[in-house]
A and B are shown apart, each in its own frame.
Chain A
């Protein structure tokens, strides 16, 4: 599976963009949004989102369930209209130049948008015949057939091509779904929670597909509730919480936002645990471990230990480690992120937490 080939039109675009960049102004970013707002009834889903995605990069919108990720994607992909603010995608306004935007993008939603009662080949052939190319023309039946066959090979679905999709595994459906979104060779691909519900192997496969797309010059905008996924794939990450962007930057930059290191102390008894818990950004009542942000210098760590435990009886041991994206998430949103991608059942079982809801253990940030 290699995704390095692009069609002639987008290769020309890339050349043009490179030329423009070297000679005069920067090319328009893939995505530019300012002050996006959206409400459903009285519920404010997006409260003013600004973001810029450079061409040819992978951008992750990270946030818990209900943060507004899908709404943001639907607005950028022209499927929903914002109540306020502006957005340009591939240099075109999502409101007034909808058809031009649609020609430049593709969207893969949370649920595989393929027909179960058609075969994989039929699904792809249908999409290939519907997809407008960059020039706006449709493929002929023969060209569409060739395109569908090429995508089936590229995504390892040739053997299953003539089976109904309802017999496919989750990973195969996802691959077909992604293949379907590539029929028109889009410049920008939106992936809304692409790995939710996938087993670890299929998730890794999808990650490598995203990397191949990026290597081929495609801009990828993905949403996820998994820090690991954003960390692995994205050039830049924006953290969305309750309709507001609470942080934006590279994974490294975000990690620096939380003091760089975390001192985990194990306390002697539960009384001390409760007394010190309000200092912690991480806490585990079972093992009585509290995590406290620090810059990691000897002076500060020594000072922290003395301040927390002047009598030198309350803390039994400590460890020091670099801050993880989990710490960032917790600090920024006030709630822990979805733990591990393979643990989808547990995530689905979680009630939709509001940002002000207390954590399941006793610590408050």
Chain B
């Protein structure tokens, strides 16, 4: 556990100093929110103010992008040989990856705060109870952790930072065939099945329901189950990949 704390401190310091990546991951949410609300928002009818509808989607899009950057950090570590040094100090793969996941969560929570602040400024008016807020943030955090650890596993698989960047692109694309930006009823029927049931839709519907104070039923639990499944699979896969990659 103390290893993981030291590794988290390391990853946080290094994220803070990676100014280019930091600017991208903070500027992206701002740009996306403005683009969706002011460029596309007028043309999409969701039955509510579009800013209210789209905020959860933008949160997810940014969290996906931010989390998948974990893959790049892991590839960089493998490239420099520092992982060998850690291993020769008898530090396992789990604390090293956990450090990157913690740093990713911190980056993403800052980006999330930024999205909320801007959304409030341009007219987002949620109607959530305090418990609803906590539940929404909990689901979002679970999503960030799951995706960051999945991304760490992808980093162990990738041969270069460019390949790891491909994963970022894939994850950034996933919110589009979901209820993030448009209602799934407006999609072709063959896509609806996927769009309504894929994990990102479950997370988005949970956030939307919880933040707007609507009844959510089982959706947050289904979302959490997805996140837990992805997280556990990724932890197991990354342990195996770490051994294989460093043997």
Contact = CB atoms under 8 A, between A and B. Distances in A.
Contact of B2 (A77, A81, A138): A138
Contact of A117 (B14, B87, B90): B14
A98 B87 CA distance: 11
A102 B88 contact: yes
- Chain B CB within 10 Å, residue with most, of A98, A99, A117, A181: A117
Interface string A106-129: 110111111111100010001101
B82 A114 contact: yes
B121 interface: no
Interface magnitude class on chain B = 20 to 34
Given A107-B84, A111-B80, A138-B2, A102 B89 contact: yes
A79 B87 contact: yes
A218 to B, nearest CB: 16
B90 A103 contact: yes
A354 B86 CA distance: 33
A243 interface: no
A118 B89 contact: no
B89 A122 contact: no
A79 B18 CA distance: 30
Interface in B176-193: none
A77 B89 CA distance: 10
B82 A115 contact: yes
B6 interface: yes
Interface of B: 2-3, 6, 9-10, 13-14, 17-18, 80-82, 84-91, 246-247
A140 to B, nearest CB: 11
Contacts of A109: 81, 84-85
Interface of A: 74, 77-81, 98-99, 102-103, 105-107, 109-118, 122, 126-127, 129-132, 138, 164, 180-181, 184
Contacts of B82: 113-115
Most buried by A among B13, B84, B246: B84
A79 B13 contact: no
Contact of B14 (A80, A107, A115, A130): A115
21 contacts: A79-B88, A80-B247, A81-B247, A102-B89, A107-B84, A109-B85, A110-B81, A112-B81, A114-B82, A115-B82, A117-B14, A117-B17, A126-B6, A126-B10, A127-B85, A127-B89, A130-B3, A130-B91, A132-B90, A181-B85, A184-B89
Contact of B88 (A77, A114, A115): A77
A114 B89 CA distance: 14
Contact of A115 (B6, B10, B246): B10
Nearest to B95: A130
Question: What 3 pairs between A and B have smallest CB-CB spacing?
Answer: A113-B85, A113-B81, A102-B90
Nearest to A130: B89
A131 B18 contact: no
A271 B162 CA distance: 56
B85 A111 contact: no
Given A102-B90, A132-B89, A184-B89, A113 B84 contact: yes
A130 to B, nearest CB: 5
A98 B91 CA distance: 12
Q: Which of B6, B10, B81, B87 has the most C-beta atoms of chain A within 10 angstroms of its own C-beta?
A: B81
Contact of B80 (A77, A113, A132): A113
A78 B89 contact: no
Contacts of A126: 6, 9-10
B150 to A, nearest CB: 24
A131 B82 CA distance: 14
A122 B16 CA distance: 14
B10 A106 contact: no
Nearest to A111: B81
A131 B87 CA distance: 11
Nearest to B13: A118
A295 B81 CA distance: 47
A62 B234 CA distance: 42
B14 A99 contact: no
A111 B14 CA distance: 19
Contacts of A80: 247
